[in-house]
Structure 1
């Protein structure tokens, strides 16, 4: 089992307590009001992954497809899924919730600068682990060209 999702936003700040502050969160679409090619100064992705415990300690590859790269990833990032909890904690989790699957969770932020947008497109994210690929949610980018101003 390999699942996840992505939160797309303008900025991510981390409090000293570890809580995230997400600024300018996009729902499903981003509207770019500029003549192409337009450059997005920055976009941040909060990638959240959930796997079954069998993936603990394994390598995870994250592939990010930007608008100008439809067929091959623009960014490939490697990380490691956290190790399983110690046996005594794992045992107490199983005893407390015997019918619930034990999952491993992780999250990380990816900051991308100067994203070029030439037409309506998407930012897509995939993760791979142990030969399994999960396509996470994507952000649709709609380019709306500004209308020329009419003379007074």
Structure 2
């Protein structure tokens, strides 16, 4: 099964008028927490996106967000894909066969609030589909302790 995906980490996720989504304060692979560990963040937003061929769209996807080291689970969910949703993607194929391969895209927005960061490490996002693990990405956490 060919499944691709990624995660965007940010400070906040906002629903705008007209159905638009705004990601605020996006991180590019690393977050620096000012102060000493452990620390509690008010919130951390995650946009996870999966893309796979529509004809193999699964009916269920398990999502897990962990803090490593220590394998502390921060969030777990099972996403059920309603009957017929993958067919909508197949129906978007051009009648003459031109265009892109039909793909099913699943986007999930998650806000972890409050979020306790025990120390330096990574927040890691994985999905599990039909026994396959898909690595979506991680955010490295560093602490910057001010000199006294």
Report whether the alignment pairs 1:92 with 2:94.
yes
Could you list the runs of 5+ residues in structure 1 that have no partner in the other structure? none
Give the deviation of 1:74 after TM superposition: 2.8
Aligned to 2:51: 50
Aligned to 2:63: 62
TM-score (norm 1): 0.84
Aligned to 2:139: 139
Q: How does 1:96-115 map to 2 (within 5 A)?
A: 96-97=98-99, 100-115=100-115
Give the deviation of 1:76 after TM superposition: 1.1
Q: Which has the higher strand share?
A: 2
- 1: CA distance between counterparts of 2:26 and 2:40? 18
- 1: CA distance between counterparts of 2:27 and 2:90? 41
Whether the 8 Å contact between 1:2 and 1:132 is mirrored in structure 2 is: no
Q: RMSD over aligned Cα, in angstroms?
A: 2.2
- 2: CA distance between counterparts of 1:147 and 1:62? 39
Q: Which has the larger radius of gyration?
A: 1
Per-residue CA deviation, residues 105-127 of structure 1 (Å, 9 max, x unaligned), is 01011110122223211100001
Whether the 8 Å contact between 1:58 and 1:129 is mirrored in structure 2 is: no
- 1: CA distance between counterparts of 2:47 and 2:89? 30
Give the deviation of 1:55 after TM superposition: 3.4
Closer/same/farther in 2, CA of residues 88 and 46 from structure 1, 3 Å limit: closer
Closer/same/farther in 2, CA of residues 75 and 92 from structure 1, 3 Å limit: same
SS in 1 for 2:106: strand
TM-score (norm 2): 0.86
SS in 1 for 2:91: helix
